[in-house]
Structure 1
């Protein structure tokens, strides 16, 4: 790939010639429109136009995946059609965009989803030259920094989520976090639905929680990382992050899709705290196979904003993603965005996780560079949260040493009780 161009890969569906559609797409997202206009000289087009690098024909569908008023107006739905699917690779001049993340996102996606020539379009992948990637923000902490802040080495970080999701007062939240610290957890995060509620104002919650975290560190030497949900308008997020830092915290959480690229970039440049990137709402952008974003492209754009952790959901979990998609997402997070740069982020496994999903996770990724989060899998353990944490620790230790969970459970009651209790629910 040329140093002065970046590439995007698309999956499209169309009754038209895919090569023609590819040229329409390239023109629409660079210097062109539906007709040649005054000032669009050959020299300008040579300098600024996106280039179709390849067109790969795939399968043919019997019916269109998405409605399309443009095609209806032209009568294309009124007669039999071949709804051809194809993979396009298009390169864009770096100079068209510069180090401008919102414009980069608009260039590789933007109005493409409204093109009349397609009945499906999905941004599958984004590839950046190293020099261009280096112009954007990087993680402030990433994997190595998160390990240093928590003191966890040689195994995954084990985390949990505040449950109940909402409803606890600030002091009740602080007391729960104190119990979770005592239980041996490495990481605690707010739920995405709990930001700054009337019953537990964020400022009060930060102070109540961090008092327990500091007390636990003084007693044990272990500092638990807490990801406070500071999602808000930009100035408020900066104020919240400052308070977390003054109180001795090390992490904040942001709901990416609802705060936006610019707000997250501003936050990154404002604070050294780890940014735990929550992707809630990603399903609206991804669940249809011919619309939206693949995770590779999605996480690439957000990593340019400088986040440190990325949610990938969990194996055998409660959400709609297949295990293959979760595995691929984790590998995306653990791969550099460009050669020669270590800008990897920590994949955060969550949703329906417990000790019994550890083997599948280990078999899939074969690395301990991950955050394994369990809400009910810890707080719902029949013997309490401490036993829930211990059961997951025992499961990870077992798989890392090539031991089956059943063998380890024979001498580890916490794990045995988790398998008995949650295994019945999973079955």
Structure 2
């Protein structure tokens, strides 16, 4: 321990001492959920004092030591166990027995990024990474219906699942909305999603939208001979309405696999996410992250990272979550943030900003676990017949300013094709409309798969040629 840190330890009051153990024997022994925060104190406290107060407020304590503590309650204290003064980082271990044993993600986040983000003792507090022990993974749902299941339904295996968001995002009638869906599917696209504000607006009644989308899908499937998928936003003002919308979709005659349930996970809440996961484990659960920027933008000193949000989405059971375009599209984000988050939720074992996370539920050293990791790296489907061995993957969903011209640049940054892309204006702004926009997207993907530069491929593909002329490369 350095003399500077020793000096900080000596500055702790008796209450704060109960939330610090810089010699914690083995934080990865399975007893703790581990976190790394960037912390800048906001008052008169030094860094370790502020970290101790954060550990207290986010676990068992308050601003003063209370006389109602018990020997057992002290065992539930969160513990500051490591510091990096130069980088303004603190590591805090949370006994995971603190958390609701019903596998409740909302409960965890209430602790670790709840009241602490409003404490006056801090001027910066950003949760950068989190680590779940295997003993804890057992208590949580993880994804049920995965992107591998969607690929099997669509018959699409060697490329991204190519999708769109209907634009304009609001203002189309239910029939007009369905027409856009049909045009995209007829042009060769796989996947259409409601945009995040879609609900039961008077100009686009929900029941009629569902009915017309079903009719449009049937027509497109018949004409193209290819399966299609639509993601419906079932976020609602109350539990009953949310379930009513889910049941309306299930009873509309869609084939199993041809529809997904979209939840605005941050604004609707984690309870809505986990309710859908538990009630409909056979449906792709699409986590839209509207409002995430309030927490995740790198310049925001308060909140949590994209990686943390994405990891909790996988823990909660989301089949897919939007992870950003890594600077290729219009949204704020970098490869360091967005690609790390994407890889962190799609692989059985992944490198985070600070932690190496294994999503295996069996011993990492077990030969079957090692084989699963190797199969996963080779992009083979895993955990189909041995789901007890690990938590299934969560799919990165990529949207925000992408277009056919930017498809290959994003794939190059991403490092794989195991994602769903949902281009909005990148399809619908095509000079000849949505159907040609879908064709241009398919052609851009075909060029990538064949290893041909899109400008060369466009010489014999008019829709792609028009897209290249219309959309900027950057």
| Residue 11 of structure 1: how far off its partner (Å) | 0.7
Question: In structure 2, how many angstroms separate the alpha carbons of the residues matched to 1:387 and 1:269?
Answer: 39
Partner of 2:262: 253
SS at match of 1:10: strand
Is 1:362 aligned to residue 367 of structure 2? no
| Residue 137 of structure 1: how far off its partner (Å) | 1.5
| Residue 324 of structure 1: how far off its partner (Å) | 4.1
Question: In structure 2, how many angstroms separate the alpha carbons of the residues matched to 1:301 and 1:146?
Answer: 22
SS at match of 1:58: coil
2:300 aligns with one of 286, 289, 300: 289
8 A contact 2:307–2:338 mirrored in 1: no
Question: In structure 1, how many angstroms separate the alpha carbons of the residues matched to 2:336 and 2:245?
Answer: 37
Q: In the TM superposition, what are the counterparts of 1:235-250 in structure 2 within 5 Å? A: 235-247=240-252, 248=254, 249-250=258-259
Question: In structure 1, how many angstroms separate the alpha carbons of the residues matched to 2:96 and 2:324?
Answer: 33
8 A contact 1:238–1:270 mirrored in 2: no
Is 1:159 aligned to residue 186 of structure 2? no
8 A contact 1:31–1:40 mirrored in 2: no
Q: In the TM superposition, what are the counterparts of 1:381-400 in structure 2 within 5 Å? A: 381-400=430-449
1:368-399 Cα deviation digits (max 9, x unpaired): 11111211111111233233222222222333
8 A contact 1:12–1:118 mirrored in 2: yes
Question: In structure 1, how many angstroms separate the alpha carbons of the residues matched to 2:304 and 2:79?
Answer: 21
Partner of 1:319: 331
Is 1:129 aligned to residue 121 of structure 2? no
Pick closer, same or farther for the CA change 1:225–1:275 going to 2, 3 Å.
same
SS at match of 1:191: coil
| Residue 267 of structure 1: how far off its partner (Å) | 1.6
| Residue 163 of structure 1: how far off its partner (Å) | 1.6
Question: In structure 2, how many angstroms separate the alpha carbons of the residues matched to 1:53 and 1:403?
Answer: 52
Question: In structure 1, how many angstroms separate the alpha carbons of the residues matched to 2:337 and 2:443?
Answer: 26
Question: In structure 1, how many angstroms separate the alpha carbons of the residues matched to 2:73 and 2:157?
Answer: 53
Normalised by the size of structure 1, how large is the TM-score?
0.88
Question: In structure 2, how many angstroms separate the alpha carbons of the residues matched to 1:24 and 1:101?
Answer: 23
Is 1:30 aligned to residue 59 of structure 2? yes
Question: In structure 1, how many angstroms separate the alpha carbons of the residues matched to 2:336 and 2:95?
Answer: 33
Question: In structure 2, how many angstroms separate the alpha carbons of the residues matched to 1:34 and 1:88?
Answer: 19
Question: In structure 2, how many angstroms separate the alpha carbons of the residues matched to 1:188 and 1:110?
Answer: 35
Partner of 2:318: 307
Question: In structure 2, how many angstroms separate the alpha carbons of the residues matched to 1:157 and 1:300?
Answer: 22
| Residue 411 of structure 1: how far off its partner (Å) | 3.2
Is 1:91 aligned to residue 93 of structure 2? yes
Worse-superposed segment, 103-112 or 285-294: 285-294
1:10 aligns with one of 37, 41, 60: 37
Q: In the TM superposition, what are the counterparts of 1:150-299 in structure 2 within 5 Å? A: 150-232=154-236, 233-247=238-252, 248=254, 249-271=258-280, 272-287=282-297, 288-299=299-310
Q: In the TM superposition, what are the counterparts of 1:331-370 in structure 2 within 5 Å? A: 331-336=343-348, 338-340=358-360, 341-370=390-419
SS at match of 2:358: coil
1:19-49 Cα deviation digits (max 9, x unpaired): 222222222222222222113245531x211
Q: C-alpha root-mean-square deviation of aligned residues, in Å? A: 1.9
8 A contact 2:186–2:224 mirrored in 1: no
Worse-superposed segment, 221-230 or 381-390: 381-390
1:20 aligns with one of 49, 54, 74: 49
For this pair of structures, how many residues does the alignment match?
398
Moved over 6 A (4+): none
8 A contact 1:159–1:374 mirrored in 2: yes
8 A contact 1:133–1:338 mirrored in 2: no
1:182-230 Cα deviation digits (max 9, x unpaired): 1111000111122110111111100111122123334443221101111
SS at match of 1:304: helix
Pick closer, same or farther for the CA change 1:219–1:409 going to 2, 3 Å.
closer
Is 1:39 aligned to residue 48 of structure 2? no
- In structure 1, runs of 5+ residues without a counterpart are 60-85
Question: In structure 1, how many angstroms separate the alpha carbons of the residues matched to 2:204 and 2:64?
Answer: 56
Worse-superposed segment, 298-307 or 348-357: 298-307
